[in-house]
Structure 1
Amino acid sequence: MVDKAVALLANLSTIAEGRLAIAREGGIPLLVEIVESGSRRGKENAASILLQLCLHNSKYCTLVLQEGAVPPLVALSQSGTPRAKEKV
């Protein structure tokens, strides 16, 4: 169920309203948690969402950094799937 929800959020993160809703509703800490301990597919999608957030709003990027996303993203860049590595 988590993987399906994160896949849906990945689609929503491609539009401004979706990114706003993800950030406003407290999604960033959950996404960082998924990057740390989710399934391979969940990690891919969570990294993709975090990328979308950071690309479009420096405030969101600051929030991502404050949540401690760097260590799990570095780990994912070394051991993740090719798509996850690309998104990291």
Structure 2
Amino acid sequence: MAKENAACVLLRLSQVEESKAAIGRSGAIPLLVCLLESGGFHAKKDASTTLYSLCMVKENKTRAVKAGIMKVLVELMADIESNIMDKSAYVVSVLVAVPEARAALVEERGMPVLVEIVEVGM
């Protein structure tokens, strides 16, 4: 429960523009990626929203890619049961602004997943 509460606090702090870079430098991004991968539904939801907000800052996009976020996001987008497919795609839409994220998306086989989402409209 403490992890979920901390993610919620980081979510609130990430809404303040001046905090985004500082949160990224603090080492929180790899931990949020881990929570996105293995947390419960609400933890994943808060982690994805926090990561979306933090990744408005370019250097945080790079940090997230280095932390392995694209693998996690592709898995969540491919899993209809995850119930955060749309939030995951939303985070991907912000990340692909940097070349590292685009390359990671292709490497993690994310393109067919995106095409399937568009095709099937999950």
Classify the TM-score, shorter chain: 0.7 to 0.9
Separation in 2, partners of 1:78, 1:61: 21
Alignment match, 1:65: 65
Gaps of 5+ in 2: 89-122
C-alpha displacement at 1:5, in angstroms? 1.1
When normalised by structure 1's length, the TM-score is 0.84
Is the CA contact 2:36–2:43 (under 8 Å) kept in the aligned structure 1? yes
Larger Rg: 2
Question: Can you list the C-alpha shifts for 1:46-71, whole angstroms capped at 9, x where unaligned?
Answer: 111111122x2111101111111111
Q: Percent identity?
A: 33
Separation in 1, partners of 2:46, 2:74: 15
Gaps of 5+ in 1: none
Alignment match, 2:17: 16
Is the CA contact 1:34–1:42 (under 8 Å) kept in the aligned structure 2? yes
Give the structure, 1 or 2, with the largest relative contact order (CA under 8 Å, sep 6 or more): 1
- Deviation beyond 6 Å, 4+ runs, structure 1: none
The within-5 A match list for 1:5-84 is: 5-54=6-55, 56-79=56-79, 80-81=82-83, 84=84
